[in-house]
Each structure stands twice: as structure tokens, then as C-alpha cells.
A and B are shown apart, each in its own frame.
Chain A
Amino acid sequence: MRRNRFPARKLLLSIAVLGSAASIAGVGTFATFTSSTSTSHTIASGTLSLTAPVNRLGTGASPIAAGDTMQRAIDLSYSGTISFGSATLTTSATSSSLLDTDATNGLQIAIDKCSQAWTESGPPYTYTCGGSTSSVLASRALIGSSIALSNLTLAAGSTDHLRVTVTLPSSADNTLENKSSTIDYTFTGVQRAGANQ
């Protein structure tokens, strides 16, 4: 069964900051005259927003063979007003097979980033980068929880252009024939550390 599921979870976090008006009062011992001044400021909480305006991760592949590679683009857009401090990826199989349970010969994932939007061709999709590339996730078994991602911008108002590469290794043997897995991808952003404001 093929499922097209929007794979990136939009994460919207609000920060609640306790704010109160400050007041300053001066008191004299023999004061005859008195005066006072007061001021106030407004403290508003920001927003964290993680969206995926470009997303090819819903596009499956069938049938694949040992050595086959699937490239899919996804943009992570940080459209809130507060930057993220880090991001992780959790992958899970909603329909599982040896393709996702065999950590060695089953599906592997790697993610890299382009400094500008990837240029797409296909399908089958392939991508070229007109700017510079950097590794976000080195190749590893596809399924994992809270996998740390590197080299992301994470800054509010910016976008990271990612290319997810899923590979069935050449070492995949005949036990991996005629198998099917449906994979969910969840990108999670974590707010930057608190700072003086």
C-alpha cells in the first residue's frame, strides 16, 4: 500500500514569557515635595515555525533493486520570529519490512544541503546544486529516532534546502526481494537557548 503522507511535521512553539510592569519609587526623609516617575515596557513572546514548503518525500519508489538510490528534496523553512537551536529527524515505518529492519543491508539515508534551492530533474528525481553543498546527515540506517542534523541554518526567516538520499545498498541480498515499507519522516526543531533580551 502506498501512502502519501506529508512527512515533515510543522512545529509551532510559542514562548510564554512572564512580564510585569516595573515600577520605581523614590522616598525622602524630610521631603516636602515629592515627585515620582514610572515607566512600563511590553514583552511579547515570539514564535517558532518549521514548515516544509517544498517536499518530495511523499513520492515513493517501486520497484527498487540493490544499488538503487532515491533522491527527494525537502525545504525546511523557519518562518517564525525565533531561531531554532537544533533540529532532529525521526524516521519510522508505518508499514515495515526487511527493507527498513535490516540496518546493514536495508535502506540507508543520507541528507545534504545546498546553499540555494536544488535544481530538480525527473522523475525519477535527481538534483543538482548551483551553490555549495554540505552534509546534514552522513549515511546511516534509515530508521532512527531523534537523529541529530548538522550544518542547518535554523535562523528565523531562513530556509534550508535539503536533499534526502535513500539507498538500497549493493550488498542487499535476495532476502530483500519483493518487500515493501512505508516510511514517515518527522523533522523536529528545538528553540535556541535562552539569551539576554
Chain B
Amino acid sequence: MTVSSKRIFSGTRSTFPGDLRDASSGSAANKSDLLDYDDAAPAVTGAWAAAYSATRFYQIDFNSPRPAGLPASSVNFNIKYASKGGGGSGNACIYKIEVRRASDDSLLGTLDHSAGPLCSTGATYRVVNEDISSLVTTTDLADDLRIKIFGYETGAKGWNIEYATVTGTSYASWTLFEKTYTDQSTGAATVTPWSIATAEGTGAAGTIYTAASTWPSTVPTSAKYLQVTFDHPDLPAGAVVQSVTLKNIWRDATAPGLGGTLCNYFEVYNGASLVETHGGTTQATAQSCNNSNVTWQTDTVTLSLVDTVAEANSMTIKFYYWVAPLCGGGGNPNCVRSVTDQVQATFTYYLN
């Protein structure tokens, strides 16, 4: 009797959206994680020293969407960076890169470029793809990854970082995206979590996303929404999708008052194709309503029609908010913005 086990056992893997588009005004604005995409929206560091300093670095902790226990290959840290430019600026230089475990900060290895720092030419971007396959050999390590970049700017200015990701292969190509970064380029640390990655529940600045504009009155408007696309579930081809769950934790930015409440429904897309809709366009049929700027509303919804690898990997959600029964005008509830603490998709799947 020959017995063979599945390549990936059934399990749940979660990730968050890095791509966020805010169309609360009726015009979509790119509010995505600045470190995720090559989209001309760079993250800007503080001012570095003009030469290497052991206390100045830029540290990135990545998301953890990979199934555990798999071998990983072709693992690369990819960064596109340049000097921020401006008067007196020079070149942005990487002196060394440390690869660490995020959970305990233990050092997996160092890519030492001290003998020949990797420098941009002024404000012209340089792309560096560092092979870290020998350090990140499993998805257990990939799911617990921290990259620490020690650098400087020859004019003691800041950097622009267009993207910083980790790519690899475990049955399929995958990409990891930033969850939290620590900018210690100045010597003093500033820790910034991606606003909708985790549920801090504090409402503190930097841990939430507040819609740019107030939501419409009475009924949702098709042009006004928050759209999220998830940071690459990267289910391998042939995987069997058993379930997909969406979690959205949100509240009002300010209370509408006067009996008003902020409501939403959402649509699930596979790319541009509508897959399913949750909630209706009235207060009675909404996915959820919340009249509080204190209490978080947690919506956990099973997306039963997202049942293929393609749908899972290309899943985009559009949240439509509105104030019910109405808002604006004298004696009516105020029109308010929404605050999002976390959006998370959880995929349960296996691979034979």
C-alpha cells in the first residue's frame, strides 16, 4: 500500500488589503500601502546620516499569508529606492541588509554591502533584488519575516522607497507585503503599522483608515465606495478553495446623532466581474449599521461564491456606505465618514 499526503493540508491563511482606493468623494484616490506597489506613490523616510550608522535603519515586517511547513525557493527581497532629492541631497545607499524573524528579532543572516554600498544615482530609482533563499528556506520563515535595511544618504537627506516586497516560490509564486515598518533613519524610531492590517481597536492615528469624505445621505451611491484588493493570497493552481471569509471592523468617525446611523453593503469582485453582494441599500437590508464613533462594528461574512483559485487570488471588495435614514441639513443627522480598523480575508484551502 502506497500512501501519499496532500502537498498542502487544509488550513486557514489570512491576509489584508494593501491596495486601498477611497472613492468616498465620488472620485477614486489611491490610498494604498506606500511600500507595496510601483505606483509613483513612494514611502518617504526621515533624513539619514551622510554615512553608515549602526543606529539608523529602516525595518519592515511582512504579512503572513503563506501555508506553513512548505519549502520556499527563489526568495528575494526587492526594493526600489532613491534619494528623496532636493537641495543638498546625494545618493541613497544600502550598507547592509539584515534578515530576521519578526517574532523574536533573531538574525537569520546579513547581506553585507559595506565594501560596496548599493547606491542610487541621486533621485533616480535603483532596483535591488537580493537573493535571500539561503536564509528564508521555508514558508514558516517567510510568514515571520523582518527585513532591516541599514543605509545612509550622502547628502544626509531622506529616501523615497517605491516598493519593498519579498517574493518567492512554494508550489506557486508568492509575494509578501509590508505590515508594519519602523523608520529609524533619523536615529529615532517611528513605528507605523499599515492602517487596516490589524485590529488595534484603539482608533489611534496610523492604526485606522478614515474615509476622505462623508458618505451620502439616505441611499448609497455607486460612485462612492472604499475599494480594497488583498495582498496576494497567492493560492497555488489546483488548490481547492473550501471557504473564504471577510472581516471588516469599522465605526463612524463622528456620531451622526439625531437617530442617524452609518450603514454599508459590499460587493465582491473577481477582477472586474461581480461575484456576490452582501447587504442591500436600505437600513433594513444593509450588511450592517453603526451609529457610534466609539463602538467598533465587526462584520464577519462568508463569501460562499468565492470558490476558485482565480476568484480568491483576484478578490476585490467595494464597500458602499451611507447614512440612514438621511443626513445633512438642519435638524437632520450629520453626514459622517467611516473609520476602518481592519479588513481581512481568510482563505481555507488545500492542495492535493
Taking a contact as CB atoms under 8 Å apart, the answer to whether B6 and A166 are in contact is: no
Interface string of A67-80 (1 = CB under 8 A from B): 00010100000000
Q: A174-B68, A175-B69 are in contact. Are A64 and B3 (CB under 8 A)?
A: yes
Complex interface: stretch among B7-15, B74-82, B307-315: B7-15
Across the interface, which residues of B come within 8 angstroms of A178, CB to CB?
Answer: 5-8, 70
Across the interface, which residues of A come within 8 angstroms of B68, CB to CB?
Answer: 174
Give Cα A54–Cα B352 distance, bound, in whole angstroms.
30
Across the interface, which residues of A come within 8 angstroms of B8, CB to CB?
Answer: 177-178
Residue of A63, A168, A185 contacting most chain B CB atoms (<10 Å):
A63
Q: A174-B70, A177-B70 are in contact. Are A65 and B1 (CB under 8 A)?
A: no
Taking a contact as CB atoms under 8 Å apart, the answer to whether B2 and A95 are in contact is: yes
Q: A65-B10, A174-B67 are in contact. Are A179 and B2 (CB under 8 A)?
A: no
Complex interface: stretch among A1-9, A30-38, A44-52, A126-134: A1-9
Taking a contact as CB atoms under 8 Å apart, the answer to whether A70 and B2 are in contact is: no
- B319 contacts the other chain (CB 8 A): no
Residue of A65, A175, A178 contacting most chain B CB atoms (<10 Å):
A178
Nearest chain B residue, comparing its CB with the CB of A185: B1
- A117 contacts the other chain (CB 8 A): no
B205 to chain A, nearest CB (A): 38
Nearest chain B residue, comparing its CB with the CB of A175: B69
- A176 contacts the other chain (CB 8 A): yes
B119 to chain A, nearest CB (A): 41
Interface size on B, residues (CB 8 A): 17
From B1, B4, B350, give the contact of A7 (CB < 8 A): B1
B170 to chain A, nearest CB (A): 11
From A65, A175, A183, A185, give the contact of B6 (CB < 8 A): A65
Give Cα A188–Cα B5 distance, bound, in whole angstroms.
29
Across the interface, which residues of B come within 8 angstroms of A63, CB to CB?
Answer: 4-7, 352
Q: A63-B352, A66-B9, A174-B9 are in contact. Are A180 and B67 (CB under 8 A)?
A: no
- A57 contacts the other chain (CB 8 A): yes
Across the interface, which residues of A come within 8 angstroms of B9, CB to CB?
Answer: 65-66, 172, 174, 176-177
Interface size on A, residues (CB 8 A): 34
Taking a contact as CB atoms under 8 Å apart, the answer to whether A183 and B1 are in contact is: yes
Across the interface, which residues of B come within 8 angstroms of A176, CB to CB?
Answer: 5, 9
Taking a contact as CB atoms under 8 Å apart, the answer to whether A179 and B4 are in contact is: yes
Across the interface, which residues of A come within 8 angstroms of B1, CB to CB?
Answer: 7, 57-61, 70, 72, 166, 182-183, 185
Taking a contact as CB atoms under 8 Å apart, the answer to whether B3 and A99 are in contact is: yes
Interface string of B323-352 (1 = CB under 8 A from A): 000000000000000000000000000101
Q: A63-B352, A65-B350 are in contact. Are A177 and B7 (CB under 8 A)?
A: yes
Taking a contact as CB atoms under 8 Å apart, the answer to whether B5 and A65 are in contact is: yes
Give Cα A166–Cα B5 distance, bound, in whole angstroms.
13
Q: A63-B352, A65-B10 are in contact. Are A177 and B5 (CB under 8 A)?
A: yes
Taking a contact as CB atoms under 8 Å apart, the answer to whether A177 and B69 are in contact is: yes
Taking a contact as CB atoms under 8 Å apart, the answer to whether B3 and A183 are in contact is: yes
Give Cα A43–Cα B4 distance, bound, in whole angstroms.
52
Interface string of B291-313 (1 = CB under 8 A from A): 00000000000000000000000
Taking a contact as CB atoms under 8 Å apart, the answer to whether A3 and B2 are in contact is: yes
Give Cα A1–Cα B3 distance, bound, in whole angstroms.
10
Q: A63-B352, A65-B10, A65-B350 are in contact. Are A180 and B5 (CB under 8 A)?
A: yes
Nearest chain B residue, comparing its CB with the CB of A91: B1
Give Cα A182–Cα B1 distance, bound, in whole angstroms.
5
Taking a contact as CB atoms under 8 Å apart, the answer to whether B4 and A60 are in contact is: yes
What are the 9 A-B residue pairs with the smallest beta carbon separation, nearest first? A174-B69, A62-B4, A60-B2, A180-B4, A63-B6, A2-B2, A182-B2, A63-B352, A178-B7
